Structure formats: structure tokens, C-alpha cells
Amino acid sequence: MFGRTGARWGRTALAAIAGAALTFGVAGPAAAEPATEGRPVGLANSSVTLMLNEKPRQTSGFQLQIGDKAVIAYCIDFNTNIAMNEAYKEGTWDASEVQDLGKVQWVLTHGYPNVTEDKLLAAAGARMPGGLNADAQRKLLYFGTQTAVWQFSDGVKLGGFEAGKGLLDEDQYAVVQKIYTYLTENATAVPEPKPSLSIKPGKAADVPVGSKAGPFTVAGPGGEIKLDVQGGQAVDADGKQVTTTANGEKFWLTAEGAGTVSVTATGSGSVSTGRVFLHVGGKAQKLILGGAVGEQVKAQASANFVTGPASPTAAPSASPSGPSGPALPVTGSSTGLMVGAGLLLLVAGGVAVAIVRRRRVRFTV
């Protein structure tokens, strides 16, 4: 239709477009890391009998051996046997097909071992009986948390103490019960933890001094996420200073004067509390991590405060990526795609110019 010159231009344009697609394809998201593997091993001196769904059931605690580190883990599949010392691979919540993992995640974040013994007992209104060694104390904390996990993953309820059933003595059983009650009555659903850490928005601009910048939302691994703030403070919705947060939670930034406030968030590990592990060889009990292992992950955000009339909160600054601004850290994928799109537009424009010029020449001959 366009003659030989037009066809040659078309072939050149197609080649340029294909080359651009190949070149900028590498700027897309990086390939996923290989799934982490672990093997369940028993937790020493952890055997216990509890009233579960109105029946005495004997059970034991365990850990996942991941590389050279043993990490506390919990059962999220009450009616299936565990494959001890066999290979398990990290999976997703969807792949596990376990209900209410959002509330299980809250239980893990606020239970053992992510909260110190003193804080967990105080929150639960429990008191550790005297004369117990470290293993016995750990067992009570572990099963207070495990029974709460079972209520959400399997609908299993912890019953009361019954003499003659082979249970722990009554004082010890009361500790398990109180931790269970505290965790189940306060649990709220939170998002699946991620192997990376981000804060959205990445920036807030032109925030009047005396206001709160934010909210900033954290997405990352399970467990405690530390906040290191320079130039101001991180606060909660009520304006109370906070130094830690958790996956899915929000915080705000404040300052006493004009300038920039920056915050660095640090997560406890890339393979963290709340990550699911599934048996490699077939059907076996599904597990969820109660601890963390792997490299720490970090993210940053900032707010620029200016003198001016105060307001209750200040919205994040607008940016090309949307009204909330980009999350930090930012990868090169978005930049690469924009440059690639620009190159394609240039090539298309060149083709159009060539076609128009060709037509003009043919009409004047």
C-alpha cells in the first residue's frame, strides 16, 4: 500500500519496537526468590495434655530447622499428622487453604515468642507459677499461643481444667487458658506478611507544623517492625509516640519546627512470623512460623514540614504514580517501562512522518 519505501520503513519500525520490548523487558519485576525449605523438629520437654473440643488430647511443640537456625513454629492443621524431619517448603496463605490466617497472624505477633514473657503474662492477666524451670515456662507460653492459633485455623476450642484427665496442674493450666482467652478475644485480621518491606506513601510534602503527616501504612514481614525517626516523632492515631509497628498498621509523623522528618523501618527477617510451610512429599500437617529468619528488610519514608496554619492531618503529596506518592524503596521497573513507552512513541512518530512524506511525493509527481 505504501510502496517499497513505506514497507521498508514499516519493517524498520517493527524491528525497533521488538528491540525496545526486549531491551526494556529486563526492567520488569525481578524473578521470585527460590522458596525457603525447612524440616520440623521436636521442641524439648514440650509434651502436654489439654482439653481440646471437650476431649483430652496429648500434643507436643516443635520448631522448623531452616538452615542452621531453629525457629518456633505452630500447627495450623489440627486433624493431620506432622511429617517430622521431612522437607517442608515455604508457601502462600492461599496455597495453604487455611481459614482465618489473618487472625492467626495477629495471635502470632502478640503471642510467644514475639512478645516477652512478662508482657504476654501482663496482657493476659496471668501469673507464672513458682518453681518452674525454663522449659516448663516456655511450654505454657507456647500452648497458650498454639491453642489460640487452633481456634482460628481449625475451630478448636480449649476447654477448662478437669481433674483426673492427665492435664497440667491447675495453676499451670490457668496460664494456658488466660493466654488463650486474651489472644482469641482481641485478635483482628491483618494482611499476609511479605518478604520485603515498604511504606506508603514514600513522601508527604507541605505539611503545616503542628499537624500530623500521614497516615503511613507499613507492608512487610510479620513480627515487630522498628521505627527509627530523625527530625521528629512517629505517633499513632491519638498522637502518642510509637517506636515500633507491625505489618498492615499505620503511623503518622510530627515535627516541632519546619524541615524534613525521615523514618527508617526495619523488619525482623525476610522469612518471618506468619509465613506458611507445606510438606513437600504430599499431605501432612501445615505449619506456620512463630519466629523469623533471614536478612533484615528496610524501607524509608519522609515528610516535609512548613510553617503555616495547622490542620488535624496532612495528606501525602501528589506524584506521577498517584495521589499517595510512591512507596519506598522504589525499583527501576517503572522507570524502565516509561522510557520504553517513550521510545515506542518516537519510533511510531518517525513512521508516521515517513508515510506522510511518501504520500506527498507521490501526489506531486
Query: Cα 225 from chain centroid?
Result: 10
pLDDT in tens, 129-162: 999 999 999 999 999 999 999 999 999 999 999 9
User: What SS3 state is found at 215?
Assistant: strand
pTM of the predicted protein model: 0.70
What is the rounded average pLDDT for all residues in the chain? 81
Residue 14 has pLDDT above 60, yes or no: no
The CATH fold of domain 198-270+295-329: Immunoglobulin-like (2.60.40)
Q: Which part of the chain has CATH 2.60.40?
A: 198-270+295-329
pLDDT tens-digit map of 185-210: 999 999 999 889 999 999 999 999 99
Task: Quickly state the pLDDT bin for 55 (edges 50, 70, 90).
Answer: very high
Measured CA to CA, the distance from residue 277 to residue 95 in angstroms comes to 10
Contact 233, 253 (CB under 8 A): yes
Distance CA 255, CA 211 (A): 8
333-343 pLDDT tens trace: 333 434 344 44
Instruction: Kindly provide the b/e burial profile for residues 175-187, where b requires at least 16 CB atoms within 10 angstroms of the residue's own CB.
Output: bbbbbbbbbbeeb
Spatial contact of 112 and 144, defined as CB atoms under 8 Å apart: yes
- As a three-state string, the secondary structure of 246-298 is CCCCEEEEECCCCEEEEEEEEECCCECCCCEEEECCCCCCCEEECCCECCCEE
227, 343 Cβ separation under 8 angstroms: no
